[in-house]
Every structure is written in structure tokens, then in C-alpha cells.
Chains A and B, each alone.
Chain A
């Protein structure tokens, strides 16, 4: 953590305040320890996981279990577990680094996350002291492997509608649970499940269920599109008999466990997506240099250069967002007491909006990247002989699990509006000011100084968001909650602002030159058009006739932008990538 970062930033604060470069944590700020953790994890994957990829993909679970144990030996399973329970209790930046580096083999990374993330953290944050003492040291070493069983066939996004039911046994010593959980990662080899059921059919609660308890079994392997090396099965609870003390958190408060675990999980999913995207890009760069068509390496064609460059641009931006958010969490965690889980959770929850942004943005970057990587490979990309085929299949689920991207998009705007209403974020006041200012047709000052145009564009984009959001709230008032299309467009603008702001501040903080300036400029250039598109959709849905015309004119003034020659910038970026032979930004 850099010393200058002293003021704790509010979650969502990037929308209303101007960021300063020294306020944000960037990938260039890693400490020596964090660099060592990065190098170690990278080496471990290269030496021990990658050579086993065929076995992993063929569901040789003993290989996965062995590798999880190796992770345990290296300390990779206890990053977020307090030391007194056998963990390392490291910062979130380190957790992101590990998630990013493990993502090279997605199936294994998902097994790892299912165990050490969603399978372990409910106990860390909500478990009773005896749960922690009993399970955490074993989980940190993968002597026991855990899974998280929330979803059911009839309830995924709507997880609280779960049907699994728990009743007390007549002697009061046990819970008897009946129900079936679906899509349970690690189910084939898990020794325990953190699961959820309705106590007496109405109080949603979290339980620890060991595999060997009576009435616990798993179904057949799901035949999935991708992540074939990650086990996914149903968890069948048939009069499953669970010790009465195995409730995690309070009875009826299962949603606290379920939702709080998701924030950090979403951020780590973002980090993993960045890692997967880098892997695909590295392969694509190398392939494009070797593949000859029309007598030349395809890397020399503009059409291919454009792909390589755009992939790298999006990765660079996404990576910045991941580490910025982790830095924010670490900073706010610094003032939290490790033993006070309420404080720890609150420090993380502050950035729930940013975590949802990472989940959506990075999973979509990854999908874009693997799609273009397949395209670079041509027909060979469609063959299972080449890894990109696997990357393509493995990527898709990231937009579905840990809260679908629709749910997360709705959460981004939903949470922002809630924070504003609760007075945590001065969105309404700022929006009112912006609407007045914008409608009075005052022009922004001419930008000047380094990155003047980009910095001004970000200021204007924020105004455009508040202007359009303000118009929408005015029109729909509380009913805006039901205007999903509008909320999703607004989320897209919010994400673009976080992305642009992060890119430019990372550049300024580290005094980066080309090709990074090209990268940031190109991203911002394109983001301005995307923001314009989304903002117009929103305005057209809230106003019509002359009012709409006036608002569109105001929007045009706000989003005035002189296009960058992105043909040239992308060529330069691609040339740099080809020369470096990998993602070297």
C-alpha cells in the first residue's frame, strides 16, 4: 500500500469526486512480497498445474485434489483466513494476484475458488469459534475440501427462494434437511458443503454439511460446455442429519452469509478473468507470428493487429480496475480489526458496487478476448488440439455464475441509488447541479495540460451519467427499480467511467509513456461513443419531442470529443505486442 493513500474513499465515490493519481492503487504499486507471491504462483502453475491439464480436463479428480493440497503447502488456500486458524491473513491485492495467476487453467482455478473462496469464507466470516477451530486449519491445507451449495434447480439468481427445508429432530440434537442443490462446484471430491435451507420452511439459514453425515449424497456429473475439469454435481439431502450446532451465522440470516461472500468472490472473478485473458492473448500473439498466409505472418495484417491491440487494451484497463478496487478494500480493511468480522465485512461491502463492476466488466472482457483469440487462430481455433478452444468454452460461464451479469448490472445502479438515498453518496445533489448546469448550456473550459482532453472527457462523462440518471429518476421516481433496461444502460455508463478514470489515473500515477498512452487514449476514445449510445437510449426512454431534442443537444455538448486516430494507435500497440511476444504492457 502506498503511503500517500490516506483518505478512505467512499464506494462509488469515483462518480462524484475527481480522482487523483495518488489515490488509486495500480498494478505498478505491488510490494516486493506481492511480486514474490505473483512469481511463485505463476511458477507453480507453469511447473505443476499446466503439465496436468489433460488429466484435469478428463476429470481425474485425484490430480485436482493433489494440486489443491500443493496449494495448501504453499499457503495459497489461507490468504483470507486469520493466522490463528492456520491462514496467512494477507491483503486483498495478494488474493487478486493469486486468482489472476491461477486462472491459466480455468477448471483448476474454479476448483480452487470453490474451495478457498466460497467454500471457506462463510466459516471465516460467520462461523462459530468451534467451527473455525475445527474446519479452517484443515481447509487451509486441503485436508478437507469444501464446496458451496446455494443454487437449486428452481432457484439460481433468486437464491433466497430455495426449497431445501430444515427441521429440528424430535430430540433437538440435529437438523434434518431435505432438498437438492444444483450446480455444486467440487461436489465430486468435497468433504463438506456450506449449504442453505429454510428452517421450518421459512427462515433461510446456512449450514455446514459433511459428506459423511447420514442422508448426504451427490448426483451425476453435469455435462458442461466448458470447465470440464471442474466437478459440478447436485447435492442430495435426503433426511440428512446434521448436528444442531452446524448453523453458520444466525437462523433466518442465511442471506447475510450468501450475499457478503459474493462481494469478494466477484472481485476475484474479475482478477481471474484478467489472468485468463492474458493467457489467451499470449497464445494469440505467438500464433499470429508463426502462421503464414499470403506469404506473410498474419501478425502483419491490419485486421489481426487490430484484434491483438484491442484485446490488450481491454486487459490493461480491466487489470487496472481489479487492482484499484483491491487497493480500496485493503485501505479500508487497514482500520478494521481482523477478529471483528462485522468490521471486516463492512470494509469490503463498502465497495460492493466496484465488485459488481469488476464481475461484469472483466467477464465480458474475457469473453471478447477468447472470441477474438479463436478468430486469430482461424480454423485451428475451432479444434480441440489448440488451447484457445478450451479458453473459449471455459470463459462463458463467468457471465453466469457469482450472480449473472444481468443481476450484477441491476445491482450496480440499484446499490448506487440506495447509497444515494441513504445519504452515503451525494448523487442526488450533484445530479441536480449538473442538470441545471447542463441545461443552461454553459460550455466546459478548453482542456489543457497532459491528457487534458481525456481528463476533461471523464469529467464530462460523469456529468452525462448524472444528467441522464437524473432525468430517469425524475421521470420514474421509485418505479425506476422496474425499469431494468434503463438501469442496465446506466450501469454500462458507470462501468465505462470507472474504466476510463482508472486508465488515465494509472497512466498519470506511474508516468507511463507509449504504448500505454496509446492504450488509455484508444480506450477512452471508444468508451466515449459507448457512453453516448447508452445515454441516448436512456434519454429517449424518458423524454420525447422538444424536451428530448433539448436534452440530446445538452448531451452532445457534454460528450463533445475529437476522435483519436485509433487506426494508428492500435497498429503501434500491436507492433509492441508482437515485438514483446507477449502481453508486456
Chain B
């Protein structure tokens, strides 16, 4: 089974984030980047499928040096090789441009039986890239996947998806397919010392927009469908309300508010 697992570099969740001067993003020069959490679950799922069915796991990432680092962490976990999409032109991509670029790279690598992505990223969290990638590839896909089984040497897949209200559904897909993997589907392994030391020696390809045969206006900011105008920190509001009346009245009013306003019960 040939599995490609996508990894997005995001700022380490422990970092202190500061908005940049143009208010369009955070200051990311001095931050440490790690793989987006859901991508680690996706990779772990890929590695387990490989252990069961044989084949290879390739990690794929677009970005600067931080993406290379994240790819090496994927190799340290056990991926067989890596593809790094590195080009200044890729900068400023939205989900659409990113999905187009990633899909091209997958095609250039000769396709795959299965492409895995995290259900959403830790930074933007829109959850669109995986799905769009499937569209660009013209493959079937399933989102919010909490269980994967492969059959017929990886030519057929069974994916359990999470629906609203604690209900799951199982779908069968023919390969090739794209799955977006939900948090908590497994317990991602640690990179062992052997894995860490072996990572540097594994095959590591670097491709530019030209290598992918993509026009300048199809990638990065130029290829994006939307532009971030301003990012801001939500205003912190705290409000205290004392509910009057008898204990019964106050309780009833509280339940009403929890149900209608806070929507927590």
C-alpha cells in the first residue's frame, strides 16, 4: 500500500503568539514549529496500515525550513521518505492553493493508494484542505475519520466517520482515496532514538512550483481564493448576573438560560 501523509507545520502550541505589524498574521520568525496535532494522528494511522499491509509511507509538507523540520519528525516516527514543497512562491497560500499544490505533488510522485490528512489544522482550523485535495485529484474522500481498515491489498477501504451527536457511520471507498483523520483515533508513537538518528539518512525530495509544473498564479498568495484582511484577539467579556426570586424561580431561570443562551444543556 502506498500511503502519503500530509503534515502542516504550525507554531508550537506552547508559544506566545503576537500579531504582526500589518495585522494579517502572527509574528512567526522566532517561533518553533511542530506538526499540526491531527496530522500526527493521520501519520500514525498510515504507519499502522503499512505495518499491517506492507508498502510505504511518504510524508508530504509545503513550507519553509519549518516544514523540513516537521517532515524529519515524521521520518523519525517511521515514515519511509519525505517530499518537501519549497518555493518562496508558495507563501501566502490559502486552503485552495495549498490543496492544489499538494495534489500536484501527489500526482508527480505517481499517485498513491491512500492520502491522509488531519481533520483540521491547529492554526487555521478550517478543515478544508483534505477535501479540496481530493477534488483536485478527482478521488473519493471521507472526513472526520475515527477508524480505518484496508482490504484487498489496500485497494478497498472501510472508514468509520464521526457524525453529530455521538453517532458513527461506516463508509466503503475504493482506492485511491483521501481521508481526513480525527483527533484521538490512535495514540501516535514517539520517535524512538533509532528513528531520530535514521531520519536524516532517508530519501528527502524537494520540489518547487516549476518542478510541479504549476504556474505562478496558481500557487501561494496569487493562487489563493481569499485574503486575510485582519486578525484580532477576541475581546474578553465577563458578565455576572444575579438571578432573583425564590430558589425555585431562580433555578428555573438558570436552567432556561443554560439551555437557550449558553446552549450547554
Residues of A within 8 A of B (CB): 32-33, 36-37, 40, 43-44, 73-76, 78-79, 88, 90, 94, 580
Contacts and interface: CB of A to CB of B under 8 A. Distances in A.
B191 A40 contact: yes
Interface size classification for chain B: 10 to 19
B208 to A, nearest CB: 23
A88 B197 contact: yes
Contacts of A33: 196-197, 199-200
B191 A36 contact: yes
A75 B73 contact: no
Contacts of B199: 33, 36
Contacts of A74: 190, 192-193
Contacts, number: 38
A25 to B, nearest CB: 19
Contacts of B76: 36
Nearest to B73: A36
Contact of A37 (B16, B196, B200): B196
A580 B194 CA distance: 33
Contacts of A36: 72-73, 76, 191, 196, 199
A362 B76 CA distance: 32
B69 interface: yes
Interface of B: 16, 69, 72-73, 76, 190-194, 196-197, 199-200
A90 B194 CA distance: 10
What secondary structure prevails in chain B residues at the interface with A? helix
Nearest to B193: A75
B126 to A, nearest CB: 27
Contacts of B192: 40, 73-75
Contacts of B191: 36, 40
Contacts of B190: 40, 43-44, 74
A90 B72 contact: no
A88 B194 contact: yes
Shortest beta-carbon contacts, A-B, top 6: A75-B193, A75-B192, A36-B196, A40-B190, A74-B192, A88-B193
A75 B194 contact: yes
Contacts of B197: 33, 88, 90
Count chain A CB atoms within 10 A of each CB in B69, B190, B192, B193 and give the residue with the most: B193
Contact of A32 (B16, B69, B193, B194): B69
Contacts of A580: 16
Nearest to A36: B196
Contacts of B196: 33, 36-37, 40
Given A33-B200, A36-B76, A90 B193 contact: yes
Contacts of B194: 75, 88
Contacts of A94: 193
A88 B192 CA distance: 10
Contacts of B16: 580
A40 B197 CA distance: 13
Given A36-B196, A90-B193, 4 more contacts: A32-B69, A36-B73, A37-B193, A88-B194
